[in-house]
Structure formats: C-alpha cells, structure tokens
Structure 1
C-alpha cells in the first residue's frame, strides 16, 4: 500500500514538473507567438490592401487590365506565403520554415503529378494574362461557348454567355483552343440575303438597299456598307447586303441591329415597287400541248 502511494506521489510530482516546464516554455514563447500573430495579421492586411489598390487604381488605367488583375491575385498569395514563413521563424520554428523552402523542389515534383491539371491551368493563366488575346468585357468564342469575359482566375476563365449562363473554362483549354475575339476592333460585319423579282432592275435595287442601310442609326458610316449580286435562284435574283456596326453590346449588335436593317430594307423595296417573290414551284412543258387543270371544290355537307 505504501509502495502504491509512493508511486502515485512520484507520478504526480513528475506530471507537475512536466506541466511546469511546458508552462515556462509557453511563457518564454508567448511574446514571440504574439509577434508571429501580429506578422500574420499585418501580412493579410498588406496583401488585401495591395490587391485592392491594384484592382481599383492600376487596373482601370492599364492597357491590359486582365493581366494586371491576374498578377494582383498572384501577388496576394505570394505575400501571404512570405508572411507565414516569417511567422514560423519568429516563433522559433526555423527548421520548419527552412524545411518548407528546402523541400519546395521535391514537393513541386511530387505535387506536380498529383495536381498536374491545377499547375497546367495556373501556368496557362500566366500566358493568357500576358499574351492578352482578350480583355474583360470582350465577346469571345472558345469551342462551343460564346460570351463576355468576366475574369481570368488562377485556374479558370469566367465567361458570361449571351443567355446569361456562367461558364468556367479551364485556362489550359482556352490556351490550347482556337479563340475568336469578336469585339477586339470594336466593330463587326453582318450580312443578310434578299431576293428580288427577275423583272426588277438589279442596279437600282442594290443602290436602294445601300442607301437604306446607311439611314439606320446603328450602321457605321465607315467601313461603308455594300452589296453583291450573289445568285440567280429559281424565283429570285439574290442580293447579299453587308454592313458594319459597333460591338459595345455584341448581343444587341447581332440580334437587334440586324433585325432593324432587314426590316428597313424590306419596307424600302416594297415601297419602291420591287417584288419579293415567295418560293414558287414552276412547271414548264417543252411540247406544244395543252394541259388540263381541274380545280376541286369542297362542297359543304
């Protein structure tokens, strides 16, 4: 019984000694811990402030805001990582911080296989940011998707399609795909086909179509609108009309403006006596013989 009591007392004494040592170490480290927390707070605030300044003040005046916004995201992450390493060194975990840096090469090799797609998309984002095939607000086509560029993120390119859907395309896919920028020059050429009667004067119809397109407010004066006689179809002489419009709003340009021009041309042609024949099937016989035509009337029952 006495032996058990001695062992219990010894265990209690050792436990208190260990706790006391830990407490002394905690008291010793406490100022450093406070400094480390302060470093982390300052780092997070600094990173956020840098990103905010770049996004709000630098990007709007930059020639390529998309690349500036992308770099600001990378800079924020870099500042946070540096702050984390400084905090670890302040606490006294220099070995951990050094190990993180020393093992960066090995880690990158190992993680490279596990997160191949993430790394590929990240690097593709860098190339897209500085190659600048598009900027925020541009209407582009990537594969089957058409829409306005909202942002270039670390891993994806954000598009807002013309039917207001949000599409996130991996940066590597964008980089490897054929990208069509439909608004880079701030104008787009549209065209439509109109068929007039064979008895109408083609030259007069063409000039009337050109004059009518120029009267539509949204049609640009330069480059000038023009027409070409494209085809002698079964029932009509087909004329294709071409005009340019602004692409500040691409969706409106390809839908609304084109519709306005077509309606104006139709009205002008009909007002000036031009025929717009329907698709009529013509039967022609090459022998001089009459054809009997019988019309069947439906009698009311």
Structure 2
C-alpha cells in the first residue's frame, strides 16, 4: 500500500514538473495582462480625454477596454495550460449558454447594454443636475451597470442603467440656463404697472441674472386681498443650487425690500366671514347681579367665600 501511494505521488510530481513551465508562463501572461490592463486604462483615458469633452463616455470606454484585455489574457493563459479544448468548448457552446446565462442574468445584461447606450447617447454629463422618477441630484459617474447620483441632501444613489434609459429624464443643466419664477402680491390700491417696473429693475440688479434673456412680470391672479404678480428671470446652471435656490432667495428679498421702501403694501391673505342674512333669532338673557354678589365682589376675600357658600348654585351662569 505504501508503495502504491509512493507511485501516485511520484506520478503527480512528474505531471507537476511537466506543467510547471506552462504554469509559470500562464502566470506571467496573466500578471502582464493585469498590469497592461491598468496601463491601457490610463492610456485610453488620456487619449479619449484629449479628443472628447465627455468624461462619462471616456470613463465607460476605459472600463470596457480594461475588461476586454483581461478576458483576452485569461483565454491565452488557458490555452497555454493546455485547456484549449475547454476554451473551444466554451466558445462553441456560447450560443446555447448565452440563452441560459442571459435568462439568468437578464437584469445585469440589460443594465450593461443600457450603459453602452447611455455612454454614446450622452443624455447627461458629470455634475449635471437631473431628475429621474423621484430621485433628484447631480450625476457623478456612469458604471457598467449603474449610474451614480449625489443628491443635494448628501445621499449617494446607484440607479440601474436600465431605469435611467427607460424612465423620463429631466436635465436641468444641459442647456446651460434655466428659468426661475416667484409670486409677489401687492394691494389693489397700488399702481400695478409701476410695481412691475420696480420689480424688474431690482431683478436686473442681480449680477447672476442673465441679461440676454430679459426678465418679465405679469399679473398672475386677482386674489382675495392682493393682486399677485408673477416674476420670471433666467440664470445659468453651472451650479444648480447657487443658480436656483440661493439666487432666487436673493432676488425675492431684494424685491420685497424695494417694494416696502417704495410704499407698496404687501398685505396678507384676508378671510372675510359672512353670516347668513336670514338667521333665526337667538334669545339672549341678561342677568343683573344684585349688590353684594360676584358681579360686585366685596373687597374682603373671606366675605366673598362666605357669600359664595351662602348663594350656592345660584352663582352659576344664567
């Protein structure tokens, strides 16, 4: 038995020595491919960045190129080890396995294909502010399977590429400018035309309001207690938060101060309560208090307590 065990070990050792050169070469090939894939990614990033201003497409193509090189090196290494039959069988059965693998990993395949379409279609760029379903934020990265978004409240969201491709996408920054609006109410007795002129003068004083697209204001509603004026102005969207929230706040505050300084009233909503003209008569009973009762209380608290105890329930409301 010991002799058989020794023979088996000797056989395995001979096979190992026979395979050792191939193992070394295959390991060197995989190591070289792995290092080459990293350098290829850097080289592709530099070349594509020089000819393209879209960092999302550049990053996506470099990822694809890196993994294609890695898979190519893996196939070469398997051939060196003598597994060419296995590789041929895998490639030969690709038609049948593609259906099985595609069915099992249809979501992954769908997101990958959607990522390719998004990379070349480019409906957004890095730092673009977009809204997809109820998700609102800035695009940070496009991966092979997901699109990365950072919201303005500090959350990081990974959205499957298929959802980004299928769902309506609102891009707030692609055109470079966006229109903002707000409503301000003046009194009915105020001069509306003069109020609009004063508002537009104040809006134009903000340096970040675009002058190429003239701001304007219209009477939006005749409300219960105010004439509501709706003001429109344009701004760029390099920084969505600064261009929309902060700028809008500054413009509204400037308009409010100018209107109040100009003598314009900014009345609040007034609710008018009307009673029906035909109401049934409501009897009202007036009780006249006798001298010495709670209606004309004595100054001494002790006398007041004695009087209350004496009158008892008669002190209640009439």
Asked if TM exceeds 0.5, the reply is yes
Structure 2: gaps spanning 5 or more residues: 278-318
CA-to-aligned-CA distance 1:134-183 (integer Å, 9 cap, x gap): 11110000000000001111111111011110111111111110000000
Asked if the contact 1:151/1:157 (under 8 Å) is kept, the reply is yes
**2:239 counterpart of 1:227:** no
TM-score (norm 1): 0.87
TM-score (norm 2): 0.82
Following superposition, which runs of at least 4 residues in structure 1 exceed 4 angstroms of deviation? 282-285
CA shift for structure 1 position 98? 1.5
Residue from 244, 258, 264 that aligns with 1:274: 264
202-211 or 24-33: which moved more?
Answer: 24-33
Number of residue pairs the alignment of both structures matches: 276
CA shift for structure 1 position 81? 0.7
Report the secondary structure of 1:17's partner residue: helix
Partner residue in 2 for 1:165: 155
Partner residue in 2 for 1:291: none
Partner residue in 2 for 1:63: 53
CA shift for structure 1 position 42? 0.8
Report the secondary structure of 1:46's partner residue: helix
Partner residue in 1 for 2:194: 204
**2:29 counterpart of 1:31:** no
Partners of 1:91 and 1:249 in 2: how far apart? 55
Query: Do the aligned partners of residues 271 and 223 (structure 1) sit closer, same or farther apart at CA in structure 2, a change above 3 Å counting?
Result: same
Partner residue in 1 for 2:69: 79
Residue from 96, 114, 139 that aligns with 1:149: 139
Query: Do the aligned partners of residues 108 and 253 (structure 1) sit closer, same or farther apart at CA in structure 2, a change above 3 Å counting?
Result: same
CA shift for structure 1 position 25? 2.1
CA shift for structure 1 position 253? 2.2
Partner residue in 1 for 2:101: 111
Asked if the contact 1:59/1:69 (under 8 Å) is kept, the reply is no
CA-to-aligned-CA distance 1:35-83 (integer Å, 9 cap, x gap): 1001000111111111223335533751322122112111111111110
Partner residue in 1 for 2:207: 217
**2:178 counterpart of 1:178:** no
Specify the structure having the higher radius of gyration (Cα): 2
15-24 or 106-115: which moved more?
Answer: 15-24
Partner residue in 1 for 2:283: none
Report the secondary structure of 2:98's partner residue: helix
Partner residue in 2 for 1:4: none
Q: CA RMSD in A?
A: 1.8
Report the secondary structure of 2:72's partner residue: helix
Report the secondary structure of 1:42's partner residue: helix
Structure 1: gaps spanning 5 or more residues: 1-10, 288-301
**2:118 counterpart of 1:135:** no
Report the secondary structure of 2:264's partner residue: coil
